[in-house]
Structure formats: C-alpha cells, structure tokens
Chain A
Amino acid sequence: DGGITQSPKYLFRKEGQNVTLSCEQNLNHDAMYWYRQDPGQGLRLIYYSQIVNDFQKGDIAEGYSVSREKKESFPLTVTSAQKNPTAFYLCASSIRQGRRYSNQPQHFGDGTRLSIL
C-alpha cells in the first residue's frame, strides 16, 4: 500500500542535542511538507519542498533544518537552537502544486511526538 511513514513514533531529546525525524513516502509525490502541532492549535508549516534538492522555509523554520536528497525522503532535524521543541510533528506530501492554483491535496503521515528529557 502507498503511504507516508514517519519514524519514530515517540522521540526524546536531551538538552543541547540535535534529533532527526524521518519521513518517507512511496506515493511518487514531488512535494513534501513538515508541520508542527501544539495542543489546541492548528498546524504550522516549518519547511516545504516542491522538488528534489530544493526546499523553502515555512512560517516557523527557526531552529529546524531539512534536506531533500531523494524524492521519497524529507528528514527534519530539530536543532538545539529550537528552545521549545516539545510538539507533535507531521509530515505530508502531495503531487507538485501549480504556480497559481494549489489543487493537489496533501496526505499526512501518522506523526512523531517529540518530548524533552
């Protein structure tokens, strides 16, 4: 079955440590996205990538980094510069969007819950 796999499901970070969240998709989608969800909040966009080897900052990119070396993979690193990393992180993918009309719905993984030790 095609889908989006996020791992691990739970992750703990020590102070000063960088951690990497994995996101893999086998839907043959060009575009991939990372969102952060805090309790009682909607999702906020961290980074997105419309094509391999290219990515853009979203609304809350500070303290995070990404890479897009393969079409299937879009890992997110939460760096030590992110002072409040505790949240639920969701990865999504879609067919590449048009320049003006973004009519390709995004499909989501099951999320990674990150906590501080």
Chain B
Amino acid sequence: GEDVEQSLFLSVREGDSSVINCTYTDSSSTYLYWYKQEPGAGLQLLTYIFSNMDMKQDQRLTVLLNKKDKHLSLRIADTQTGDSAIYFCAETRLGSQGNLIFGKGTKLSVKP
C-alpha cells in the first residue's frame, strides 16, 4: 500500500466543520505536516505536529494525531469558500534529512 493515504474528495457546506483524514505506515515518522494547495499555485504550510504530540490547535485549525493507529486528521472549523483547495498530508522520518513523503491530497469543496 501507499506510505501516506488520504481520501481524494471531501465536500462540505459553508459554516460547517471539515475533517480531512490521513493514515501513514512508518513507525519512524517524526513530524507530520498539512499543506494547502490552491489551483495553479505552490504549497502553503498550514501546520505541523511532532509525532509524540496528540493535538495541536491554531485558530480554526485543529490537528489530531493517534500514533497507535498512525492516523492524523485536520479539522477546519467554520469552513469558508476560501478554504476550497487540495490538502496534502506529509511525513518525515528518522534520518531522512527532511525529505517529505506526501499523500495524494484531498480536494475540499465548500458549497455556499
């Protein structure tokens, strides 16, 4: 299977919460990242979490990490149409010199 897996699509209504999920396989994962990509643009770092933490909150964003199940989620509260984008989960591993391993991305569509 893939090293980092994400569901490909998510559709929510404006004002609702969005939850984007990610699973990874390698137990040597050290840091886990969430990036946002708008059409035709590069990747914008949203947040990241060290693998021995279980939660991190930053304004509307909440990251939850279940290390036992190797499951990461990104919750966006009060989702806005400007949040429509592709969200990538990525990990780095021990001794990897910072090389990121990406999932295929989840396309979030926000309906007014």
A positions within 8 Å CB-CB of B? 4, 6, 31, 33, 40-45, 48, 50, 56, 58, 90, 92, 94, 97, 99-111, 113
B positions within 8 Å CB-CB of A? 4, 8, 30-31, 33, 35, 40-45, 48, 50, 88, 90, 92-100, 102-105
Report B92 CB to chain A, min CB distance, Å.
4
| Chain A residues near B41 (CB-CB < 8 A) | 110-111
Contact A102 B31 (CB under 8 A): yes
Contact B45 A106 (CB under 8 A): yes
Q: List 16 A-B contacts (CB under 8 A).
A: A40-B104, A42-B4, A42-B103, A42-B105, A45-B100, A58-B99, A94-B98, A101-B30, A102-B97, A103-B92, A105-B33, A108-B44, A108-B45, A109-B42, A111-B41, A111-B42
Known: A100-B94, A105-B48, A110-B41. A41 touches B104 (CB 8 A): yes
Contact B99 A100 (CB under 8 A): no
| Chain A residues near B93 (CB-CB < 8 A) | 102
Q: In the bound complex, how far is the Cα of B35 from the Cα of A92, in angstroms?
A: 13
Report B53 CB to chain A, min CB distance, Å.
12
Q: In the bound complex, how far is the Cα of B97 from the Cα of A94, in angstroms?
A: 11
Contact A97 B103 (CB under 8 A): no
